[in-house]
Amino acid sequence: MKIHRLAIPLAEQAVRRLRVGDVVFLEGKVHTGRALVYQHVLEQGHEMPLDPARVSNVQMHAAPAGQEESPGRYRISSIQATASFRYGRWVPEYVRRFGIRAVIGKGGMDAAIYRDVFARTGTVFLTTVGYGVAALYGRGVRGVDAVYWKDELGLPEAMWLIDTHDFGPFIVDGDCTGASLAEQAIDRINPRFEHAYRSLAPHVLKRMGEIDQSLEQEVIAGNAGRARDR
Amino acid sequence: MKTSWIEAAAYEAHRLAATTHPADVRAALERSFEREAGELPRFVMQAIVENSRVAEQDQRPICADVGVMRMFVVAGNEARIESGFVGLEQAVRRATARVTRDLALRSNRVHPISRRNPGDNLGVFAPNVDYRFEPDADWVELIAVHKGGAFGSDFRMMVDGDGLNGVRKGLVDAIAEFGRRGLTCPPVIIGVGIGGTKDQAFGIAKQAAVLRTIGDRHPEPEIAGLEDELHELADSLGLGAMGYPGTGGYALDVHVEIAYTHSALTPLGIHQLCQAARRGVVRIHADGTLETRDAPSWFSDYSRRAGV
């Protein structure tokens, strides 16, 4: 596995060289955001408290384990990403508008976003590894520069600006060619499921929506893009 | 039994759950890493095992998502608490708030409609406290569990004709749905609840996932055999850590609990406990000694109602 150590703000050239399966460690300022941050900025139109393209062009889908130790002073103990497919409706606009070069998340996103948006903007999706290796990532946080909108969004959901050092490892799940590591894995795994299903009769009592036995479908939103490709 | 002992035990149970993998889980993760031959999932398993050590060493939460903090209480029938069970619940609430602040745990409990966050992991019905009683015992055991919950759980109302095939298919469905992208955070511990009432099936499945140790087998040989068979089935799908194709195994173990059910139906519950399997067990003895234990005592012949 190829290992890259990159400084934030990330340069477009460096990002475009990354390929799915590569390992990345980061150094510099990362800002967090989940649904409430996206709604606050993109739907309610609040002005961004920082200039991401200049300061922190890496956004992490995360609500850290952290507390306010004394007024205005914060401590993060552990941090990792949350499932990113939930933010599919906001990520394209956020990335375009604020010049985001890397989104750190969990589980990847619909490959249509990589292909139709990230390939043009020069952005990658970096997945946290293991899902729940937050102590390891916590060691990579040197400090908390600021927490924005704490009163409006609550402490975990607020936008945290963190200073990172040797922050990783992350794996490139979506690169600027539009490739998706998770989809490649699923394509390799599906025949095993098909094999298992051949000997398993359907349940007698069906649930609403349970009419498609195809493994094309996934729980993440927007998988129509994937079916359309075939 | 003094209330202060209970609060100290609740705090310690939460601290252990947050920062320290149970010994059986740590060992199973290490075995999974050793078995893994795929380059990507092996890299991931290495990080998982390293994270487990770092969390304990630095006293950081294993996972940033504290999940929903909850407490399972095994109360000896002969145990006497100075302030009664109301005092126990107050002590559990105080300990939850304190450990949240001291370890900088994520304040994760919010109002489900307004999303208001009180900041201390307390609220309406929060934390959950569940009880069971043990005869001929004068101790109280507190079992803290921290678990997320978006992915991996499933419930299905099966009918009498579905049989064991229905259980197998239900398990493969749950893995296809949430495991293929690694959203369940594998390798997982799978709990399967078969029978009882609808809420019971879901409840015993959760307890099977979070309150039994790796390698533990159900006392009924038929059910123990089913646990082995379902474990093999889960691993046969070829998913490793993060859902990447691998040889380390998707499940660390599968635990099945059954309950006698309606003659026409077989409700089926499934829970998948992530690799950050967080559980802390502290027993309070009548003399005030606090004993940290690896294995929770939630399940016993009595709790399964054998011979009652």
* 3-state DSSP of B269-301: EEEEECCCCEEEEEEECCCCCEEEECCCCCCCC
Contact residues on chain A for B50, CB-CB shorter than 8 A: 133, 136
**Interchain proximity A189–B238, CB inside 8 Å:** yes
If you search the block for the tokens 């802390």, which residue do you land on?
B280
Distance from CA of A93 to the nearest CA of B (A): 24
What is the pLDDT at residue B55? 97
How buried is residue B263: exposed, middle or buried, by Cβ count under 10 Å (0-12/13-18/19+)?
Answer: exposed
Bridge partners (DSSP) of residue B237 are: none
Contact, B152 vs B176, CB < 8 A? no
Bridge partners (DSSP) of residue A103 are: A59, A125
What is the pLDDT at residue A222? 54
Q: What percent of chain A has pLDDT over 90?
A: 87
Same structural domain, A23 and A126: yes
Distance (Å, whole) CA B124 – CA B105? 19
Distance (Å, whole) CA A114 – CA B185? 23
Contact, B165 vs B133, CB < 8 A? no
Q: Of B181, B184, B166, B126, whose CA–CA distance to B266 is shortest?
A: B166
| Partner residue opposite B104 with nearest CB, options A67, A127, A136 | A67
Contact residues on chain B for A21, CB-CB shorter than 8 A: 40
pLDDT tens track for A115-152: 999 999 999 999 999 998 999 999 999 999 999 999 99
Same structural domain, A31 and A121: yes
Same structural domain, A126 and A168: yes
Same structural domain, A118 and A200: no
Distance (Å, whole) CA B37 – CA A49? 46
Task: Quickly count helices (H) and strands (E) in chain A.
Answer: 10, 9
Domain that holds residue A186: 182-204+212-228
What is the pLDDT at residue A210? 72
Q: What percent of chain B has pLDDT over 90?
A: 96
Distance (Å, whole) CA B45 – CA B50? 8
Distance (Å, whole) CA B191 – CA B203? 10
Helix/strand/coil percentages in chain B, nearest 5: 40, 25, 40
Same structural domain, A60 and A106: yes
pLDDT tens track for B108-154: 999 999 989 999 999 999 999 999 999 999 999 999 999 998 888 99
Helix/strand/coil percentages in chain A, nearest 5: 30, 30, 40
Nearest residue of chain B to residue A133 (CA atoms): B51
pLDDT tens track for B52-72: 999 999 999 999 999 999 999
How buried is residue B128: exposed, middle or buried, by Cβ count under 10 Å (0-12/13-18/19+)?
Answer: exposed
Distance (Å, whole) CA B224 – CA B34? 26
The reply to whether B170 touches chain A by the CB within 8 Å rule is: yes
| Partner residue opposite A66 with nearest CB, options B104, B181, B243 | B104
Residues B174-208, buried b or exposed e (16+ Cβ, 10 A)?
bbbbbbbbbbbbbbbbbbbbbbbeeebbbbbbbbb
Same structural domain, A74 and A92: yes
Rounded to two decimals, the pTM is 0.95
Same structural domain, A200 and A138: no
Distance (Å, whole) CA A24 – CA A126? 8
Chosen for mutation from B36, B236, B244 (greatest number of chain A CBs closer than 10 Å) is: B244
Name the H helices within A17-155. 35-38, 52-55, 91-98, 111-113, 119-121, 134-139, 150-153
Count of domains forming chain A: 2
Same structural domain, A117 and A219: no
**Interchain proximity A197–B172, CB inside 8 Å:** yes
- Residue B187 pLDDT more than 50? yes
- Residue B218 pLDDT more than 50? yes
Task: Tell me how crowded residue B123 is: count the other CB atoms within 10 A of its CB.
Answer: 14
Low-confidence stretches of chain A (pLDDT beneath 70) = 211-213, 221-230
DSSP-derived letter for residue B216 is -
Phi/psi for A133 (5° steps) reads: -110, 50
Nearest residue of chain A to residue B117 (CA atoms): A154
**Interchain proximity B177–A219, CB inside 8 Å:** yes
Tokens of B279: 């559980």
Give me the total of CB pairs closer than 8 Å, taking one residue from chain A and one from chain B.
Answer: 200
What is the pLDDT at residue A59? 98
- B119 backbone φψ class: left, alpha, beta (φ>0; ψ -120 to 50): left
Mean confidence (pLDDT) of chain B = 96
Phi/psi for A85 (5° steps) reads: -60, -20
Amino acid letter, B100 = T
Same structural domain, A131 and A220: no
Task: Tell me how crowded residue B3 is: count the other CB atoms within 10 A of its CB.
Answer: 17
ipTM summary value: 0.92
Chosen for mutation from B15, B42, B50, B51 (greatest number of chain A CBs closer than 10 Å) is: B51
Tokens of B80: 């006497």
Distance (Å, whole) CA B152 – CA B227? 18
Task: Tell me how crowded residue B232 is: count the other CB atoms within 10 A of its CB.
Answer: 12
Same structural domain, A11 and A124: yes
B82 CA to centre of own chain: 29
Q: What percent of chain B has pLDDT over 70?
A: 99
What is the pLDDT at residue A179? 96
| Partner residue opposite A135 with nearest CB, options B62, B115, B169 | B62
- Residue A52: which residues within 8 A CB-CB, separation 6 or more? A31, A59, A98, A99, A100
**Interchain proximity A203–B169, CB inside 8 Å:** yes
Distance from CA of B255 to the nearest CA of A (A): 20
Tokens of B134: 């043990």
User: In this structure, are strands B140-147 and B68-76 parallel, antiparallel, or unpaired?
Assistant: antiparallel
Distance (Å, whole) CA B199 – CA B206? 11
**CA dist B147 to A228, B13, B157, Å?**
36, 14, 24
What 3-state DSSP class applies to A44?
coil
Same structural domain, A65 and A165: yes
If you search the block for the tokens 């026409």, which residue do you land on?
B264
**Interchain proximity A129–B47, CB inside 8 Å:** yes
What is the pLDDT at residue A220? 74
Same structural domain, A196 and A127: no
